[in-house]
């Protein structure tokens, strides 16, 4: 079943592949297979994403000392909105959110569920 990725899941995927020095867009099928092989260990993915968020938070704190506006913010804007809504970057992303992002984007196989007998 297909569903579009949520914004936090998109952020987690971007941070994960950025930490590997890779882009997840415009790749060949073989390159996508190589990318999915990079993220076999979910604990490593969790560590990489949250370490990247910590680094961005530190750089944002330094930026806030120079100006009033934080550098890293999420923007929520839907059709019909008159003004965008800004939200701060999360301090951490849960392992379940990272797992869902990998499953729904096709980089990880979903867990098998027990069948009712």
pLDDT digits (tens, 9 = 90+) for 73-112: 777 778 888 888 887 778 899 999 999 999 988 888 887 7
Q: Does residue 86 belong to any structural domain of this protein?
A: yes
Q: Domain range spanning residue 50?
A: 7-105
DSSP 112: P
Q: Say what the pLDDT of residue 43 is.
A: 94
Domain count, the chain: 1
Asked if the structure places residue 2 within a domain, the reply is no
Is 22 a member of any domain? yes
**pTM over cut 0.85:** no
Residue given tokens 């729904």 in the structure block: 104
- Dump strand ranges (E) for 1-117: 73-76, 85-88
**Does 115 map to a domain?**
no
The per-residue pLDDT for range 35-63, each reduced to its tens digit, is 888 888 999 999 999 999 998 888 777 66
95 φ, ψ (degrees, to nearest 5): -65, -30
What share of the chain has pLDDT > 70, as a percent? 84
């Amino acid at each position: 079943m297909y569903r579009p990725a949520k914004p936090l899941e998109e952020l987690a995927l971007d941070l994960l592949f950025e930490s590997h020095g890779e882009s997840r867009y415009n790749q060949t099928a073989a390159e996508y297979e190589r990318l999915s092989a990079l993220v076999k260990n979910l604990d490593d993915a969790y560590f990489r994403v949250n370490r990247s968020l910590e680094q961005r938070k530190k750089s944002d704190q330094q930026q806030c000392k120079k100006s009033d506006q934080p550098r890293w913010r999420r923007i929520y804007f839907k059709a019909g909105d008159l003004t965008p809504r800004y939200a701060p970057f999360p301090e951490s992303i849960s392992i379940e959110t990272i797992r869902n992002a990998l499953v729904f984007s096709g980089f990880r196989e979903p867990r098998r569920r027990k069948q009712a007998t």
